[in-house]
Amino acid sequence: MPSVTSDAPPQLAATASSGLKIAVAGGFGVGKTTFVGAISEIAPLRTEAEMTGASVGVDDIAATPTKTTTTVAFDFGRISLDEQLVLYLFGAPGQERFEFLWQRLFTGALGAVVLVDTRRIEASHASLDRVEAAGLPFVVAHNVFAGEDDVFSLDDIHESLSLSPDVPVVRCDARDRNSVRDVLVTALDHVRHASARHASDRAAP
């Protein structure tokens, strides 16, 4: 039975008037739950279940042998950007068997962060495909795990994933609040520029 854990969140400022939604996607075990939890100003809502024998041969834990739980619905976190603006983060489950949830989680999102683990970069392809199919502007964040941070340059990752030239690729430590903040600043800036380009294209004769 999945467990849902959340503390009572602090109340939003009375002046809060606008909300922005960012999706956090990526393969199984790449660090999405950790990413959301590191930055959220509330105890994040998590829907995790213990991994059982049913996951053997389905969920690849070779790179994350200590992982014992998995997200089965979504993670949710909240950040107040200022007195009016609130950012909502929705972390999508990584396994393709939960892809029926992805479109709902992407609906209404302004953009996305796609986390990748270069030890198994192919695991990010399905998430990238879904984000692109949803038409979301996105950034790719290489979640650095011990011992593999210098193996691939950011340009290597960009080329390996066959990304469009305008898609930013950055490094991050999903455990570190400041690192996650920097990724989200890059994502929001990319969303802003993408929206401006789209508006310019629509206005062109």
Confidence of residue 46 (pLDDT cuts 50, 70, 90): low
Flag the least confident range among 21-35, 38-52, 83-97, 104-118: 38-52
Q: What is the DSSP string of 73-87?
A: EEEEEEEE-SSSEEE
Residue the block writes with tokens 């709902």: 104
Average pLDDT over residues 33-46: 87
Whole-number pLDDT of residue 132: 94
| Cα angle, residue 69 at apex, residues 30 and 179 outer, rounded to 5° | 35
What digits encode the pLDDT tens for the residues 173-198?
Answer: 999 999 999 999 999 999 999 988 87
Whole-number pLDDT of residue 203: 65
The token pair at 32 is 């999405």
What digits encode the pLDDT tens for the residues 53-75?
Answer: 444 444 455 544 444 444 445 78
If you ran DSSP here, which 8-state letter would residue 1 be given? -
Does residue 36 or residue 94 have the better pLDDT? 36
Whole-number pLDDT of residue 155: 95
**100: part of which helix (H) or strand (E)?**
helix 99-106
Q: If phi over 0 gives left and psi between -120 and 50 gives alpha, with beta otherwise, what is residue 28?
A: beta
Does residue 187 or residue 95 have the better pLDDT? 187
Whole-number pLDDT of residue 53: 46
Average pLDDT over residues 14-30: 81
Confidence of residue 28 (pLDDT cuts 50, 70, 90): confident
Whole-number pLDDT of residue 102: 72
pLDDT at 137 over 90: yes
pLDDT at 172 over 90: yes
Residues in the chain: 205
Average pLDDT over residues 17-33: 87
pLDDT at 16 over 80: no
Whole-number pLDDT of residue 81: 87
Whole-number pLDDT of residue 82: 83
Query: Distance between CA atoms of 167 and 103, rounded to whole angstroms?
Result: 21
pTM, rounded to two decimals: 0.77
